[in-house]
Amino acid sequence: MRLQNKIAVVTGGARGIGKGVSELFAKEGATVIIWDLLEDGEQTASNINSKGHQAEFTKISVTDKPAIEKEAERIHQKYGKIDILINNAGITKDRTLHKMSEAEWDAVVDVNLKGVFLCTQVVSKYMKDAGYGRIVSAASNVGLRGNFGQTNYAATKAGVIAMSKTWTMELGKYGITANALAPGFTLTEMTEQIPKEHLDGIKKQIPLQKAATPLDIAYGYLYLASDEASYVSGICLTIDGGISR
């Protein structure tokens, strides 16, 4: 198993891509700690445990630094280390430039950018002391090419890529890699509301003519979190069916 005996924190791990990551990591031998505000995380952890793997759920906001500090310390006290941090938590509040409110801008920046910063700032201290760590943060192909109605979202995802490159320089000497992963259109609970005709139109724009599944994306996270990627740092791995070619 590729993550045997690793301790992995997955933010936003309750459902969608984060759930796929949590399930795959646990299957590959990691003890997964899901950080999420959604109560779905309890069921996700329970399902993982029922299959003989190891998972926990903590209800927490990635914007609450004192709570993050307390929870990271709890994990360290219990397991003695934190090997992997997957910064997956994120939200959208789409609106075109002139219709977007400051509140919509601030909410997305707070979770998608500041949340990644806070979790990494806290957890990387334990990695630094241990001389080992894998940090993988959720960007998006939107952060590379922009997208209509997503000024706030695109800005945060581009920021995640830039932060990851910066952390590569700052943390590399401590045995810590920092990478970003940019998914394309992925079928999750949120996309179930999209009308079929619109969904078909999206798929036609993708060279592979299909949307990703959470597992498609999770395998990318698995690679970057594994020891196989010990010499991979500062990249943004794009998994989007070729649309950002």
pLDDT of 196 strictly over 90: no
Distance CA 57, CA 13 (A): 9
Whether 61 and 67 have beta carbons less than 8 Å apart is answered as: yes
pLDDT of 190 strictly over 90: no
Identify the pLDDT of residue 122: 99
Confidence band, pLDDT 50/70/90 cuts, at residue 159? very high
Which residue is listed with tokens 């940019």?
A: 182
Structure-token pair, residue 68: 């993050």
CATH topology of domain 7-235: Rossmann fold (3.40.50)
Structure-token pair, residue 191: 């996309």
Confidence band, pLDDT 50/70/90 cuts, at residue 164? very high
Both ends of the chain: CA-CA distance in Å?
Answer: 32
Distance CA 87, CA 115 (A): 8
Strand boundaries in the chain, DSSP class E: 7-11, 31-36, 54-59, 84-87, 133-138, 176-183, 236-239
- Specify the pTM: 0.97
pLDDT tens-digit profile of 5-25? 999 999 999 999 999 999 999
Distance CA 155, CA 205 (A): 23
Domain extents for the chain?
A: 7-235
Polymer length in residues for the chain: 245
The stretch 133-150 carries a mean pLDDT of 97
Quick check: helix, strand or coil at residue 158? Answer: helix
pLDDT tens-digit profile of 40-90? 999 999 999 999 999 999 999 999 999 999 999 999 999 999 999 999 999
Supply the residues annotated as catalytic. 153
